[in-house]
Amino acid sequence: MTLLDALDGQEYIIKQINTDDEELNAFLFSLGCYVGEPVTVVSHLKGGCVVSIKDGRYNIDNQLASAVEI
Amino acid sequence: MRIALTGNPNSGKTTMYNALTGRNEKVGNWAGVTVEKKEHHIKKAYCSGTEDLIAVDLPGAYSMSPFTSEESITSSYVKHEHPDAIINIVDATNLSRSLFFTTQLLELGIPVVVALNKSDINAKKQTVIDVASLSAKLGCPVVETVSTAAEGLKAVVDAAVAQSGKIQRAPYVQGDIDLTDKKVVEEADRKRFAFVNSLVSQVEKRKVLTKNKGTGDAIDAVLTNKFLGIPIFAVVMFLVFQISQVWVGPLIADTLVAWIETFQGYVGEVLLADANPLLTALLADGIIGGVGAVVGFLPLVMIMYFLIALLEDCGYMSRVSVVLDPIFKKVGLSGKSVIPFVIGTGCAIPGVMASRTIRNERERRATAMLTPFMPCGAKIPVIALFAGAFFDDAGWVSFLMYFTGIVLIFLGALLVNKIAGYKNRKSFFIIELPEYKVPSLWFAFKAMCARGWAYIVKAATIILLCNTAVQIMQTFNWSFQVAETADSSILASIAHPFAYLLVPIVGVLSWQLAAAAVTGFIAKENVVGTLAVCFVGLENLIDTDALEMMEGAGAEVAGVIAITKVAALAYLMFNLYTPPCFAAIGAMNSEMKSAKWLWGGIGLQLGTGYTVGFLVYQIGTLITTGSIGAGFVPGLIAVIVFAAILVWLCLKADKDLKQEYALNGARA
């Protein structure tokens, strides 16, 4: 499943990230978003969702949410 | 010695820089406010020794490998410019992410001091960090700071000075790895994060876990709500304009204008009572009248700056990006484009520069190109002048100008999409949501004063110069004798050819309006100043009554310009949506980094301004008088040519795209 299907407030472990964009992957990495790390969806919105990675809050769009497998 | 301030975006670097140096650089509560390097001497109060200390403020970065262009400024500066010490500002509320960058900085060998910033928020959340242990584990001094309250700054600077000259020992060494091998690098970075994770678990104790919902999330649920998000943003922006331009701004402006008027009268009648009438005209009417007309609108602009600074400080900007991303995505922009547009309502130059944080090149260029459609602070006097002179100060004029600006941004974005060949390519959106905070009135006040001061300086330099030149040029003829009528002056003869171009928009051949539009490219306030100087008898009226046209004075101003209301509206819109001032065009150039895009942008703005002006005048005239206005045919030809170019560009882009897909098909 991907972050799109994640339940609000539950912690998941990232299994894979498929963005086809090396730079973006590296960027996500520097935020602490990489395979093996925990991620929590705080809430789902219209065009995306709010996620908690390490101690930061981010908004990502549905495209990116669907690229993160958990 | 030079001390570089580095750290993650939105960790408070510029706030600390401002406190250390006494400067007034732009701060805001979102990631990516600072996009350029800045340096200045540190205040003596923070230096213990006699040595001169220079602080270098750098854009935020999450790691040494740059993601956006502003991040690369940071990594190349610390790698190649050899600062004497680095103050690494660490967001204490997000230690687990921030220390990744810290461990990279520690490997450079340059002495590092960690400023554990936002420690006040940690105290509130009952998060405890063992500073002594962290310092021992990192091998560098760690000082708790609150840069918004200027706490702990002296200790940080002292520590940096004490460390200088030493060689930094790194707690974690990556070792010799092949940096070109992606897998190896990722493996090394994972180890680094593992090191950081174990370190954080030893020094940090949290009561409130970030993954759990907090009050911030409750606010988010409302502000980014599916149905409420956009209406809330609309109401917020409406209030900003209503307060600055209708409720509060004009009240203060009236007082200011009265002072300027008194001063002008005093200079004209008392000081220069026996002076040469030419000199009197130059000083009283040209300089004080023209510049005064511009300065009179200062309160409106300053209050707007104040309100926008409050918005920027509270953390709302990132949420607006989130709300608007789905819509902006449809027209090929990014949710982040909204930040440049909102900043652009203050001034297009920082607005255009703010587009740098948008990573996708096409989205970034399109944003830089479209930001000037948002009427900026310099255009407020122009709007207010016309609203006062022709429309009885009606609030709808100002509202319509901003609304049209927004519509043009959307239409422009669609066009850019068509022409630049929008491929339904993946463009991921991610934005950090900073914690909300109560906006600081003091910061907003400082931001307002800085911008207000810049406005005054501009009025006292560029606009003063332009007005003087305009006054002289319209006083003399080419043989440098006093022109008998203004129509035979130097200015009239220069502006005359341009006046023909404006006929389809204003309906009359007026070299004064043409001159004002042309000087507007130097600075938009010049439109007001030039009109004040050019129209004999108008300058006094603008000064005293432009904001509150009483007892038919408004009609008098309109009478002097001698154009219809419809033409006034058309001329106003032409001035707002044509290319911005030269300074803003320069900013567009540096963000677009492409001559093709720059000229495309200027062409689009010129065409749009002309077309909007033409349509408003001709359609408006048709409705009000029943017949089309003057200059319809030549104007129509110009607009058709513009449209034809656009259609041709769209078709060409379509064709190119098809060819590209055909090639792809052949390869597959």
Q: What is the three-state SS of B247-302?
A: HCHHHHHHHHHHHHHHHHHHHHHHHCCCCCHHHHHHHHHHHHHHHHHHHCCHHHHH
Residue B266 shares a structural domain with residue B343: yes
Looking at the partner chain, which of B63, B182, B217 has a beta carbon nearest the beta carbon of A42? B217
Tokens for B86, please give them: 């680095």
Residue B333 lies in a domain: yes
User: pLDDT for B273-309, tens place per residue?
Assistant: 777 877 877 887 778 877 887 888 899 889 999 999 9
Q: B552: pLDDT confidence band, cut at 50, 70 and 90?
A: very low
**Helix, coil or strand: residue B433:** coil
Looking at the partner chain, which of B212, B329, B432 has a beta carbon nearest the beta carbon of A58? B432
| CA distance linking residue B199 with residue B172, whole number of Å | 11
Looking at the partner chain, which of A23, A45, A55 has a beta carbon nearest the beta carbon of B224? A45
The confidence score (pLDDT) of residue B424 equals 55
* Residues of chain B with C-beta less than 8 angstroms from the C-beta of A30: 62-63, 65, 67, 100-101
Provide the residue type at B12 as one letter: G
Backbone angles phi, psi at B6, to 5 degrees: -130, 165
* Residues of chain A with C-beta less than 8 angstroms from the C-beta of B431: 58-59
Residue B373 lies in a domain: yes
| CA distance linking residue B338 with residue B351, whole number of Å | 10
B188: nearest CA partner in chain A: A29
Q: B271: pLDDT confidence band, cut at 50, 70 and 90?
A: confident
- Inter-residue contact B183 to B55 (CB < 8 Å): no
Query: Which range, of B90-99, B106-115, B254-263, B404-413, averages the lowest pLDDT?
Result: B254-263
Q: B155: pLDDT confidence band, cut at 50, 70 and 90?
A: very high
Task: Evaluate if residue B357 carries a pLDDT over 50.
Answer: yes
The confidence score (pLDDT) of residue B656 equals 83
* Residues of chain B with C-beta less than 8 angstroms from the C-beta of A19: 426, 428
Please answer yes or no on whether B226 and A45 come within 8 Å at the CB atom: yes
- Selection from B255-269, B430-444, B551-565 with the highest mean pLDDT: B430-444
User: pLDDT for B380-412, tens place per residue?
Assistant: 999 988 888 888 877 789 889 999 999 999 999
Residue B201 shares a structural domain with residue B335: no
The confidence score (pLDDT) of residue B111 equals 95
Mean pLDDT of chain B: 88
User: pLDDT for A42-65, tens place per residue?
Assistant: 999 888 999 999 999 999 999 999
* Tally of domains in chain B: 2
Q: Enumerate chain B positions whose Cβ falls within 8 A of a Cβ in A.
A: 62-63, 65, 67, 93-97, 100-101, 182, 186, 189-190, 193, 210-213, 216-217, 220-221, 224, 226, 318, 321-322, 325-326, 329, 335, 426-435
Please answer yes or no on whether B210 and A54 come within 8 Å at the CB atom: yes
Top residue of B8, B99, B100, B211 to mutate, by most chain A CBs within 10 Å, is B211
Residue B273 lies in a domain: yes
Task: Evaluate if residue B34 carries a pLDDT over 80.
Answer: yes
Residue B199 shares a structural domain with residue B263: no
- CB neighbours (10 Å) of residue B502? 27
**Residue that wins the pLDDT comparison between B284 and B363:** B363
Looking at the partner chain, which of B95, B213, B329 has a beta carbon nearest the beta carbon of A42? B213
Q: B668: pLDDT confidence band, cut at 50, 70 and 90?
A: very low
Residue B603 lies in a domain: yes
User: pLDDT for B189-202, tens place per residue?
Assistant: 999 999 999 999 99
* Residues of chain A with C-beta less than 8 angstroms from the C-beta of B182: 22
- CB neighbours (10 Å) of residue B498? 14
Task: Evaluate if residue B259 carries a pLDDT over 50.
Answer: yes
Q: B432: pLDDT confidence band, cut at 50, 70 and 90?
A: very high
Task: Evaluate if residue B543 carries a pLDDT over 80.
Answer: no
The confidence score (pLDDT) of residue B561 equals 61
| Single residue among B205, B222, B242 that ends a domain in this structure | B205
Please answer yes or no on whether B193 and A32 come within 8 Å at the CB atom: yes
* Residues of chain A with C-beta less than 8 angstroms from the C-beta of B427: 63
Q: What percent of chain B has pLDDT over 90?
A: 56
Give the angle B616-B617-B620 at the CA atoms, nearest 5°. 75
Closest Cα in chain A, distance from residue B431 (Å): 5
Residue B257 shares a structural domain with residue B180: no
Looking at the partner chain, which of A26, A36, A52 has a beta carbon nearest the beta carbon of B211? A52
- CB neighbours (10 Å) of residue B460? 13
* Residues of chain B with C-beta less than 8 angstroms from the C-beta of A14: none
Q: Which residues in B322-331 are b (16+ Cβ under 10 Å) and which e? A: bbbbbebbeb
Rounded average pLDDT over B598-618: 95
The confidence score (pLDDT) of residue B664 equals 61
Q: B556: pLDDT confidence band, cut at 50, 70 and 90?
A: low
Residue B227 lies in a domain: no
Residue B664 lies in a domain: no
A56: nearest CA partner in chain B: B94
**Residue that wins the pLDDT comparison between B421 and B603:** B603
Residue B260 shares a structural domain with residue B137: no
Rounded average pLDDT over B213-235: 92
Residue B239 lies in a domain: yes
Task: Evaluate if residue B470 carries a pLDDT over 60.
Answer: yes
Q: Which domain holds residue B200?
A: 2-205
Query: Which range, of B158-162, B395-399, B633-637, B642-646, averages the lowest pLDDT?
Result: B395-399
Task: Evaluate if residue B504 carries a pLDDT over 90.
Answer: yes
Residue B159 shares a structural domain with residue B286: no
Rounded average pLDDT over B333-338: 92
Task: Evaluate if residue B109 carries a pLDDT over 70.
Answer: yes
Looking at the partner chain, which of B93, B100, B321 has a beta carbon nearest the beta carbon of A30? B100
Residue B446 shares a structural domain with residue B334: yes
pTM for this model (two decimals): 0.90
Q: Which CATH number fits domain A3-69: 2.30.30.90, 3.30.70.2190, 2.30.30.110, 1.20.1740.10?
A: 2.30.30.90
- Inter-residue contact B257 to B406 (CB < 8 Å): no
Find the helix or strand (DSSP H, E) in which B205 lies.
strand B204-205
Residue B211 lies in a domain: no
**Residue that wins the pLDDT comparison between B148 and B482:** B148
Please answer yes or no on whether B213 and A24 come within 8 Å at the CB atom: no
Q: Which long-range contacts (CB under 8 A, 24 or more apart) does B263-267 make?
A: B263/B288, B263/B292, B264/B288, B264/B289, B264/B292, B264/B540, B264/B543
| CA distance linking residue B392 with residue B552, whole number of Å | 9
Rounded average pLDDT over B54-61: 94
Task: Evaluate if residue B330 carries a pLDDT over 60.
Answer: yes
Closest Cα in chain A, distance from residue B432 (Å): 4
The confidence score (pLDDT) of residue B290 equals 79
Top residue of B125, B189, B322, B329 to mutate, by most chain A CBs within 10 Å, is B322
Residue B258 shares a structural domain with residue B174: no
CATH number, residue B49: 3.40.50.300
Looking at the partner chain, which of A9, A34, A60 has a beta carbon nearest the beta carbon of B430? A60
Task: Evaluate if residue B544 carries a pLDDT over 60.
Answer: no
Residue B155 shares a structural domain with residue B279: no
User: pLDDT for A17-45, tens place per residue?
Assistant: 988 888 888 899 999 999 999 999 999 98
Tokens for B474, please give them: 């319209």
B216: nearest CA partner in chain A: A57
Half-sphere exposure of B342 (CA within 13 A, CB side): 25
